[in-house]
Amino acid sequence: MERTIAWLQKYRTNGFDNALADAKEIDNDMDTEPVFKENRIRRKKRTFQYEAKDEPVQSPQESFTIGYFNLILDRAISSLEQRFQQLKSHDALFGFLFSFHNHTKAEIRVHTANLEKSLTVNGTSDIGSYMLAEEMNALKSVIPEEITSQPSKILSFHFKGNSYVDFPNFWIARRILLTIPVTVASDERSFSKLKLIKTYLRSTMTQDRLNGLAIL
């Protein structure tokens, strides 16, 4: 997602010229003239003693670039940054669990301390940061590196070998990681689709039939 946002930001800077060149090629294939149409500029009538000057007149191409091209990209970038804030926060807390083989002992202690702080409620935490760091350093030689990025396989690995008893903090951290619902999807309001079910041609129906159609 960070690479996608970086690409959109770069495309906003120099992507219009490329898009314009592609549009001109399409126009040539369709035997049409690639020209921006100029709309009539409507100026407001200035009142008495209004000394401010009118806004500078923009060319049709500049108007399209500012009011359409840049506007769409700005909204896309803003939407991505806001929507994936939850994923970034979870990655900052739990990301080290996917790649602890590549972290030093000092880095692991910093990450485990942050995780313990986030999981502390009323002075009680689900894990101990110091013991978790020690367990992870010991597990580097036990857990195959190729399954480190797959939490479900690591849990299966621990469960089959009964090693979860010896590494309780790591076991709890992995279980929390797998049970936290991380999603960017939002529920759609059911009434937004009610008009497709109950139209003016179907103005009366029983509650059971309405519920059945809504479920379908």
Which domain does 95 fall in, by range? 88-179
Query: Mind listing the pLDDT tens digit for each residue in 17-47?
Result: 888 888 888 888 888 877 777 666 566 666 5
Number of domains in the chain: 2
120: DSSP letter:
E
Same domain? 72 vs 104? no
pLDDT at 40: 63
* Of the candidates 156, 108, 99, the residue with the CA atom closest to the CA atom of residue 134: 108
Same domain? 126 vs 158? yes
Least confident of 21-25, 78-82, 98-102, 154-158: 154-158
Within a 10 A sphere around the Cβ of 171, how many other Cβ atoms? 19
For residue 188, is it within any domain?
no
> Which residue, chain included where needed, has tokens 């009366």?
204
For residue 197, is it within any domain?
no
Instruction: Say whether pLDDT at 60 is over 70.
Output: yes
Instruction: Say whether pLDDT at 199 is over 80.
Output: no
Same domain? 115 vs 151? yes
For residue 212, is it within any domain?
no
Same domain? 134 vs 173? yes
Same domain? 115 vs 155? yes
Report residue 56's pLDDT band, with 50, 70 and 90 as the boundaries: low
The fraction of the chain above a pLDDT of 90, given in percent, is: 6
The span from the CA of 163 to the CA of 142, in Å, is: 10
The span from the CA of 128 to the CA of 26, in Å, is: 62
Report residue 113's pLDDT band, with 50, 70 and 90 as the boundaries: very high
pLDDT at 110: 92
Same domain? 77 vs 93? no
For residue 97, is it within any domain?
yes
Within a 10 A sphere around the Cβ of 128, how many other Cβ atoms? 15
Q: Residue 130 is encoded by which pair of tokens?
A: 């110091």
